[in-house]
Amino acid sequence: MKRSFLLFALLQVVFVCSGFSQEYKDFNFKSGITYSMSNSSNSGPNEMTMWFADNQYSGVEMGGQSAFFMVYDMKNQAAVNIMPAQKMYMVMDLKKMKEKMKSKTENPDSEKPVITKTGKTEKILGYNCEQYLIKTNKSESLVWVTKDLGIDGAAFAKSFGEIMGNQDNSSPINTYGLSGVMMKMEVTEKDSKEKATLVATKVHKDGKSVDVTGFKKMNMPGQ
């Protein structure tokens, strides 16, 4: 993989169309999963935490120098970039964001991924996981998923797809069709043989609340 999973998520912030009118006060997430992400062309692992609140919205939080918190509001088709240090948040039109991304990533030669259950199992963080093999025309992935977390598998796949910007069926990070929540993924690109890994390091059963009351809502300049 020439780009890390972190860069896939950051692309969501770069190609945006803002000016959305939705106002927010707070977000209450029921649970979350922290992942460590690394690849063979990256100097070290990155960390990402996904947060879930039924089918209403999901969030992604990243640490390090590029720390940010992004909420994906499925009901209103909006993405909310929260900047706690500046007491600001930016609301973006998710539909327009998808159109922007699709125009840049659309591949007429792409094929739907072939998903095969391997029959192998593994315990990750104490949770029983089943292994799946996902093949596309560009990559092969091994994915371990669990049904023991009480998180809707379809909601997870949708949230993960929104966060990672899956517009192309051949994307190596496409998890649609998996019956469960992903705990580990190993991706190998067919041409370059580069590898990327994403593995769960912590499950947050107590959830998380993010209060943006009093935060200034802003629009992206030039939009």
Q: Are 134 and 140 in contact (CB under 8 A)?
A: yes
Task: Just give the CATH number of 5-218.
Answer: 2.50.20
Instruction: Encode pLDDT of 133-174 as tens digits.
Output: 999 888 899 999 999 988 776 666 666 666 655 544 444 455
pTM, whole model, 2 decimals?
A: 0.78
Q: Where are the domains of the chain?
A: 5-218
| 147 vs 24: CA distance, rounded Å | 32
The pair of structure tokens assigned to 85 is 């240090």
- Strands (E) located in 40-126: 46-53, 57-62, 68-73, 78-83, 88-93, 114-124
| 122 vs 64: CA distance, rounded Å | 30
Q: Pairing state of beta strands 88-93 and 216-218?
A: parallel
Instruction: Encode pLDDT of 90-123 as tens digits.
Output: 988 877 766 766 655 555 555 678 889 999 999 9
- pLDDT value for 95: 76
- State how far Cα 14 lies from the chain centre: 15
Q: For residue 151, what is the DSSP state?
A: -
